[in-house]
Amino acid sequence: MPLLVMKFGGTSVADLDRIANAAQKVQREVERGYDVIVIVSAMSGKTNELVGWVEKTSPLYDAREYDAVVSSGENVTAGLMALRLQEMGVPARSWQGWQVPINTTSAHGSARFIDIPRANMDAKFAEGFKVAVVAGFQGLSAEGRITTLGRGGSDTTAVAFAAAFGAERCDIYTDVDGVYTTDPRITSKARKLDKIAFEEMLELASLGAKVLQTRSVELAMRYKVRLRVLSSFEDTDETSGTLVCDEDEIMESKVVSGVAYSRDEAKMTLVKVEDRPGIAAAIFGPLAEAGVNVDMIVQNISELDDPADKRAYTDMTFSLPTNQVERAKKAIEEATAAGKFAYAKLVTDTDVAKISVVGIGMRSQVGVAAKMFAALAAENVNIKVITTSEIKISVLIDRKYMELAVQALHDTFELEKA
């Protein structure tokens, strides 16, 4: 029997009516001849509520008990979904992470998959059950404790099950009807993509696109799991949504597939750092240990070179999330006090945004960067930092120009055209 994995996010199961709506979509796939594994999130807002309860009860909480509480939201949804399917005449059973079992590492709050044995669930399908409703976001450690996978963990759960069970496809149902060339709230010209390559989706997810969680796309790319992003609130068929697939399934790729943005970015520059072997490690090692998520890094010859000083100096610029600036400052101060490096001054800009163009077609097309920079120049948008990869070009600009830049680049690369 062919098998399909279907994942429903929090907004898709926000109340009993929406659970019933999702169950109808599952029933339709059963009627088409599939066995179905359904992965569910907690009802919309429930995880935040549970986290709040934990933090009010115990500000310095035990991570094991945090996972025990926070994972319960998915358990409720799984049980309700199974009950609804049973009422509709569909043989269904709910599964919590420990019952499968979903074996994970012991990193509570950010666990990673080890394996998903098939025997228990295969036995139930053999008995005649058509649907297994699995609580997403959770697993079981070697110590026998419930673990959680971090935010967005239900997407990752769905992909992991699709890989483990050799599913024909993994359908991700959410509150949007697919992956768009950019955020439709910024430009009405944004177009829904029929297909997008794993690598492009991974770049867009890591750059701020909220449609899929980055870890889920990484896993899908590694195990060649075909993903389809669909709306829970629209009637769908085999052609609906956006298919995330291997590059070989896409006949002809546009040079640029999408424009992504990240609003809450900051830029920090360490001015006049001694330019010597190991200086980058001395700076970014303490930042990593402090949990600072450094992204773009640029190193330049320092303008404060003193001709009388025979040593070479460099300026080190990097970007990071705005909410991690204070943590970064503290890490830099502590590293400096410990004698790991010295600098003349620290310049911080918390009013920047990151804009990126992404496309596998860049591999074989020259002039994309020049075209991007010319488009921004035409709108009088100044570029502060540039980084590139094989299929991506990212720039930091003043945040006030973010929407203008997205619109200009979307128009320049004619992304509204199929």
Q: Which two tokens stand for residue 307?
A: 């001709």
DSSP letter for 418, please: -
Find, among 205, 201, 91, 81, the residue nearest to 135 by Cα.
81
Q: 3-class SS at 92?
A: strand
- Per DSSP, the residues of 144-201 read S-EEE--TTHHHHHHHHHHHHTT-SEEEEEESSSS-BSS-TTT-TT--B-SEEEHHHH
Q: Report the binding-site residues for ATP.
A: 7-10, 174-175, 180, 185, 210-211
Phi, psi (degrees; rounded to nearest 5) at 93: -145, 140
Q: Report the binding-site residues for substrate.
A: 47, 74
Q: Give the C-alpha separation, 282 to 186, whole Å.
A: 40
Q: 3-class SS at 397?
A: strand
Q: Give the C-alpha separation, 146 to 64, whole Å.
A: 7
Q: Give the C-alpha separation, 140 to 121, whole Å.
A: 16
Residues 6+ apart with CB under 8 A from 262: 207, 208, 353, 354
Q: Report the binding-site residues.
A: 7-10, 47, 74, 174-175, 180, 185, 210-211
Residues 6+ apart with CB under 8 A from 139: 97, 101, 102, 103, 104, 111, 113, 146, 147, 148, 149
